[in-house]
Structures are given as structure tokens and as C-alpha cells.
């Protein structure tokens, strides 16, 4: 009788462990583990800064410009709501534009007349390079399909391939504005080129710089486990990336200008979580059988929504 009781107890314990093992279904939370994503970003870049030092002509009038970035993002979520990410992007590193003030213009009779207006410059100064954003991420579920997301991090600029080291390190930005003046004479007209305005800036392309990133957005959990993310935020530069001076030659008016490349951004990202492949592998390992691929897909999507 005692032996029978011991045997029954052993069977019950074995059944308990078997049941526990069968119920130990892995958690396919959308933010669990390692992810890979692609990102695209539009940027609304702050105006450059002009400071008039002397002279009667006002400083050039700076304008907002636009930029972009695109790249690959690698992220790892080490906790339910927290993760880190590293991006390898290519996009705008410098963009600025301004209007020149025209106090006088040629009258085409050998003299000058007052104008006193700004002349729009139709083209932005625009440079693109490799950029490396590193961010700390936080997410919070709003429903089964939507998550609130915030991010804070830095963007590293100025890292260059090894084979470019030793080349010219300063990039020059030179803008000038000329007038062609007609000088009538008895023997005919002659023309003289007059320098009206000049701006000269410098950027050290090998200086590594860091920008601050702050963003907030919304994640959408797709039915098959991947994520769409829409983010808006700000990029704040700690120091100017371009510095220089400007001169109006006719009035000896001059001053300085600088570019920090601060901007507001909107970003759209597609993030592959690998959860669909993980679920498919789990079902295969558990020897689940399905009558069709459609039935298997339905089971995978059902499991992806249980977490």
C-alpha cells in the first residue's frame, strides 16, 4: 500500500512538471530583444546668426532652411519599457541661407540710386555627411496596438573614414555679390566689376561634435509583429559648426556670422522585431501541424497578440 502511494505521488509530480512545461509559452512582446529598423527624417533648420559690428548697412537677413536624414537603426530593449539604439545615418550636417541688403544699386547711367531692400538668395548652402545617433528609449502601452515613445540621446558628427585622414581639414564657405558698372566715355562705354558684398565662413570637418536629441512619438504595433514609429523632436547643437564674417564694401559695413544647425525634426521609421520568425520557429519546435499556410499564419498572429 505504501509503495502504491509513493508511485502515485511520483506520477502526480511528473504530470505537474509536464503541464508546467507545456504552458511555458514564450512572451512575444513587441519591444522585447533586438530590433533592426530603417528611418527617414525631414528637418526644419533654424536660421544662422548675423551680428553687425560697424557700418550703416544692416546685417543680412537669415532664413529657415530644410534638411533630411535616412539610415539604419539597431536597437536592443533590455527591459519591458526601456531600450537603447544606435543609428548609422546619412544626411544634412550644414544648411543655411540669407538675404543680402541692397542699400544702393547701379542706375545704369554711371551712378547709383537708393534701393534699401533685401535681395533673396535662391539657393541654400547645403552639406551632407555620415551621422551616428545614439539614443535611450522609453515606451509605454496605450493599447494593444499603440505605444507612447520618448527618446533622449546624442548625435555624433565629424567621424570620417580612415583613408580621408590627413586631407584638408578646413571647409571654406565663400559667397560674394558683384555689380557690373557701365562707365560711358567719348570713345565708347567701358565696364567695371564692383564687389558689393562678401561672406566667408570656415568649418573644421575633422572636429568631432555632439548634438543633443530629444523626441516624443507614437508606435503602432503591426499585426505580424513589426512596428511603425512616428517621432517629432529637436536637435540642439552645443557649438557653432560654421563661423565667419561678412562685409558690405561700399559702406564699410561688416560683422560676423555663425551656423549651429539646430533644427526640429519629424521622423518615420519601420522597425523589424523578428517576432514573426521567432513565433514560427517556436511552433515548428513544438510540432504544431496546420492544414495550410493561412492557418499557420493565423496562429502566429494570434500568439503575437498575447503578451
Whole-angstrom distance, CA of residue 145 vs CA of residue 141: 8
pLDDT, position 21: 43
First vs last C-alpha separation in the chain: 46
Q: Is residue 291 pLDDT above 90, yes or no?
A: no
Q: Is residue 236 pLDDT above 90, yes or no?
A: yes
Write down the mean pLDDT value for the chain: 85
pLDDT, position 22: 42
Whole-angstrom distance, CA of residue 103 vs CA of residue 56: 9
Local structure of 11: helix, strand or coil: helix
pLDDT, position 215: 97
Please give the grid coordinates belonging to residue 110.
Answer: 554711371
pLDDT average, residue stretch 193-197:
88
Question: What is the tens place of the pLDDT at every residue in 249-290?
Answer: 989 999 999 999 899 999 999 999 988 787 777 777 777 777
pLDDT average, residue stretch 285-297:
74
- Using CA atoms, how far residue 15 sits from 191, 243, 298, in Å, is 103, 75, 30
Q: Is residue 6 pLDDT above 50, yes or no?
A: yes
According to DSSP, the β-strands at 125-141 and 61-63 are unpaired
Of 263, 98, 129, 262, nearest to 204 by C-alpha is 129
Q: Is residue 15 pLDDT above 90, yes or no?
A: no
Whole-angstrom distance, CA of residue 149 vs CA of residue 234: 15
pLDDT, position 132: 97
Q: Is residue 203 pLDDT above 50, yes or no?
A: yes
Question: What is the tens place of the pLDDT at every residue in 120-179?
Answer: 887 789 999 999 999 999 999 998 889 999 999 999 998 876 555 555 688 899 998 888
According to DSSP, the β-strands at 112-119 and 170-183 are unpaired
Report residue 102's pLDDT band, with 50, 70 and 90 as the boundaries: very high
Please give the grid coordinates belonging to residue 124.
Answer: 541654400
Amino acid at each position: 500500500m505504501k509503495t502504491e502511494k509513493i508511485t502515485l505521488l511520483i506520477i502526480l509530480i511528473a504530470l505537474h512538471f509536464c503541464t508546467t512545461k507545456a504552458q511555458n509559452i514564450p512572451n512575444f512582446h513587441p519591444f522585447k530583444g533586438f530590433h533592426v529598423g530603417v528611418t527617414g527624417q525631414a528637418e526644419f533648420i533654424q536660421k544662422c546668426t548675423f551680428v553687425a559690428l560697424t557700418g550703416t548697412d544692416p546685417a543680412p537677413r537669415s532664413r529657415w532652411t530644410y534638411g533630411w536624414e535616412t539610415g539604419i537603426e539597431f536597437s536592443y530593449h533590455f527591459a519591458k519599457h526601456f531600450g537603447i539604439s544606435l543609428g548609422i545615418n546619412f544626411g544634412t550636417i550644414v544648411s543655411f541661407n540669407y538675404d543680402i541688403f541692397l542699400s544702393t544699386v547701379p542706375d545704369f547711367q554711371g551712378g547709383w540710386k537708393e534701393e534699401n531692400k533685401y535681395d533673396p538668395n535662391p539657393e541654400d548652402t547645403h552639406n551632407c555627411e555620415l551621422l551616428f545617433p545614439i539614443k535611450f528609449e522609453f515606451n509605454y502601452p496605450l493599447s494593444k496596438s499603440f505605444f507612447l515613445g520618448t527618446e533622449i540621446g546624442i548625435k555624433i558628427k565629424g567621424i570620417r573614414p580612415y583613408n580621408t585622414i590627413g586631407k584638408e581639414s578646413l571647409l571654406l564657405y565663400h559667397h560674394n555679390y558683384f555689380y557690373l558698372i557701365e562707365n560711358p566715355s567719348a570713345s565708347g562705354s567701358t565696364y567695371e566689376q564692383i564687389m558689393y558684398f562678401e561672406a566667408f565662413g570656415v568649418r573644421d570637418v575633422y572636429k568631432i561634435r555632439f548634438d543633443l536629441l530629444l523626441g516624443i512619438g507614437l508606435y503602432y504595433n503591426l499585426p505580424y509583429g513589426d512596428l511603425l514609429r512616428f517621432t517629432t523632436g529637436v536637435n540642439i547643437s552645443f557649438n557653432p559648426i560654421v563661423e565667419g564674417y561678412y562685409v558690405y564694401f561700399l559702406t564699410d559695413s561688416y560683422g560676423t556670422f555663425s551656423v549651429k544647425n539646430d533644427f526640429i525634426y519629424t521622423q518615420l521609421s519601420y522597425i523589424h522585431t523578428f517576432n514573426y520568425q521567432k513565433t514560427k520557429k517556436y511552433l515548428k519546435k513544438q510540432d504544431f501541424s496546420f492544414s495550410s499556410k493561412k492557418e499557420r499564419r493565423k496562429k502566429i498572429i494570434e500568439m503575437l497578440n498575447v503578451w
